[in-house]
Amino acid sequence: MTVTVAENAGFCFGVKRATDTLEKLIDSSEKGTRIFTVGELIHNADYNRELSEKGVRTIDADDTAELEAALAGGSKCKVLIRTHGITLSREQAVRQLSDRYPGQLEIIDCTCPYVKKIHNIADRESGDSTLFLLLGAADHPEVEGIASHVKGKVLIFDSADEAERQIEALGEGKNFFDRVVLAAQTTQKLSEWKKTQKNIKKVYTNALIFDTICSVTEKRQLEAERMASENDVMVVIGGRTSSNTAKLYDVCRKRCGKAYLIQNADELQNIKILPAERVGIAAGASTPDRIIQEVRKKMSAEIMTENFEELLESSLNTLNTGDTVVGTVIGITANEVQLDLGTKVTGTIAFDQITDDPTAKLDQMFKIGDEIEAFVIRVSDVEGIAALSKKRIDSHKNWDKIVAAQESGEILEGRITEAVRGGVIISLFSNNVFIPASHTGIKADGDLTTLVGTTQRVKIIEIKPERRRAYASIRVVLRDERRAAEEKIWSDIEEGKTYEGVVKSLTSYGAFVDIGGVDGMVHNTELSWKRIKNPSEVVKVGDKIVVFVKALDKERKRISLGYKKDEDNPWFIFNQKYKEGDVAEVKIVSFTPFGAFAEIVDGVDGLIHISQITDHKIGNPAEVLEIGATVEAKITGIDHERCKVNLSIRALMEPAVEEVAPVAADEADVSVYSSDNPDASKYVTEEAADAE
């Protein structure tokens, strides 16, 4: 058997630059200096474990407590920014600590130059009217960092097809951008990048396209693709959280019938190499050369001496439908797990025969070398595959858990898999349990399909052991939880206490708000300082709002809630901003025979008496002013008790002279109007008309 190691295996330039920098710091830093990395320097568990053993700490810039504690204690610290880079906000958080502790903290930016290049493109080429398209994994640290530099709209997608879907979802809005920019995560697959470019050019003919895939990544993938087509077995070495390693494995798996992903030499014992004449080894950009050499050495020392006759004998073992088997995981993809059954066929467990959770990640549930017990559904000697089911085994093993849950009243959690006649099916411990429609919490004649795909908490209400059938209820859980919540609320509620609630319903006179199991009433007058005709002018059903208890009647189980705050009172805002003698820019809102009303702040109007509009006599305010016009006026009087304000334009048109006595403003009760004061709703009295 020949073993060939890829020429481009192991550390890329950016990773080597970062690791070399860190190792020099470890060797050269003076005693007592603390060394930190912002995020894992590279995606390799073995390497990061070694760093930890050397005293290097990994922190998240969102939680810098450990770093700050070291600085506050007087320690000198050095912080390395990881190869993938970090977001702008996270970088600012670290640099703020540097400003707070001058001379104590040194920041070394080890972001890969290829990644930095994309940061610069995002800074330079994006703007408010830009659409920035980025091919990459949205939750990958490199992509998060790039996106933080984008100004304007950014769409992140992991495939060409997903890009099309997201652009289509923009509707007509997809045409409203002055500039469209396309870039890619440095470790993306070349085939997907080429397909993405082709599709984007059809929609945006003038798109600015930047080839940002790392040249080393490109060479590594092309070499792995060639080797996979030439070898019987491909072994890919790298961290399972590494993006470039995952794509390398995907490339090899598509070209080679036997491709395995391992993290280190110890995992060789979990995969089957023989019988094979040619074996290729590829490695991700975050894999140290030491680990690659260990894998090659161990492969030669152990696998080559494996008893081939024993393998041949085991390959002749037979397998039948209905058997229960135990296999060893030799491969994991997004859609299935492959097992070595010790027979001439390979076992495969499809995703839907493992779990009902569509968000589950098989590579997080299993690892190479795990043993799985499964039920044989079908055997095909021609294809060399046995279709297996893990759910069948789990169902039988876990039935006792469902029986015990009924006896104890335990609340179970599962996913609704389908709506059927008369109810829905929930998967509990790989068993299908029926929930009658009346126990779903959906109103009669409601759409039960809205529950499909959701996770629900239930109690087992009935079991028929002879038929292995169980019945569950969502409604019972909701009822019990609401009762418990009500008891807690009523035990400690008091006037003035604040709650975050959810608006449950609206009436013509106010809104009912759920404050955690109990509904309270917010009257229209408590929703806004302004007069409103309907609560929908302020809130809508489903809104989360902060309310406080104004009054309560525990005997009648009634709660009166308040929502508006004193600081939102227009009269309060007015008094914070203005005082008598100030000049304000006001908006004319209405006319009367004796003057004009002008809005000073939202909710507070003042009266400009007709004698104060101009420096000559006029018969009607409309001769000088227009509704909606903005003018400057002087505040000549404030009645704090009645929330009224007098304004004058004339006072700004002439120098100070002896004041003429006002036209019985107080006696006429026409000087002011404040929209927040319900008692000040009558603007003109008969006396005012006589005075005029």
Q: Are strands 105-109 and 544-553 parallel, antiparallel or unpaired?
A: unpaired
Whether residues 580 and 677 fall in one domain: yes
CA nearest 281: which of 292, 271, 297, 265? 292
* Domain finish residue from 345, 365, 393: 393
Residue type, 592: T
- The answer as to whether 159 is a domain residue is yes
pLDDT of residue 668: 39
- The answer as to whether 9 is a domain residue is no
Whether residues 685 and 576 fall in one domain: yes
Whether residues 554 and 661 fall in one domain: no
Q: How far is CA 591 from the centre of its chain?
A: 52
- The answer as to whether 78 is a domain residue is no
Catalytic residue selected from 91, 142, 225, 599: 142
Whether residues 545 and 654 fall in one domain: no
- The answer as to whether 324 is a domain residue is yes
- The answer as to whether 298 is a domain residue is no
pLDDT of residue 489: 80
Total number of domains in the chain: 5
Distance (Å, whole) CA 680 – CA 642: 7
- The answer as to whether 181 is a domain residue is yes
Q: Are strands 455-464 and 412-420 parallel, antiparallel or unpaired?
A: antiparallel
Whether residues 576 and 639 fall in one domain: yes
CA nearest 167: which of 203, 139, 201? 203
User: Tell me, what CATH number does 466's domain have?
Assistant: 2.40.50.140
pLDDT of residue 321: 83
Look up 142 and say whether it is catalytic: yes
User: Tell me, what CATH number does 175's domain have?
Assistant: 3.40.1010.20
Structural domain for 558, as ranges? 493-564
pLDDT of residue 566: 67
pTM across the whole model: 0.42
Whether residues 576 and 633 fall in one domain: yes
Q: How far is CA 371 from the centre of its chain?
A: 34
Three-state secondary structure along 293-341? HHHHHHHHHHHHHCCHHHHHHHHCCCCCCCCEEEEEEEEECCCEEEEEC
CA nearest 668: which of 691, 644, 636? 691
Whether residues 578 and 679 fall in one domain: yes
Whether residues 576 and 558 fall in one domain: no
Distance (Å, whole) CA 388 – CA 323: 10
Whether residues 384 and 425 fall in one domain: no
Residue 79, C-beta contacts closer than 8 angstroms, at least 6 positions apart:
35, 36, 37, 38, 67, 94, 105, 106, 107, 108
Whether residues 530 and 578 fall in one domain: no
Cα of first residue to Cα of last residue in the chain, in angstroms, is 113
Whether residues 592 and 655 fall in one domain: yes
Whether residues 557 and 596 fall in one domain: no
* Domain finish residue from 449, 478, 507: 478
Q: Are strands 672-674 and 604-609 parallel, antiparallel or unpaired?
A: antiparallel
Q: Yes or no: say if 337 and 331 are a contact pair by the CB < 8 Å rule.
A: yes
pLDDT of residue 655: 59
- The answer as to whether 467 is a domain residue is yes
Positions in the chain short of pLDDT 70: 1, 61, 301-318, 382, 566-567, 654-692
Distance (Å, whole) CA 179 – CA 559: 55
- The answer as to whether 483 is a domain residue is no
Question: Is the CA virtual torsion 155, 158, 161, 165 positive or negative?
Answer: negative
* Domain finish residue from 213, 238, 263: 213
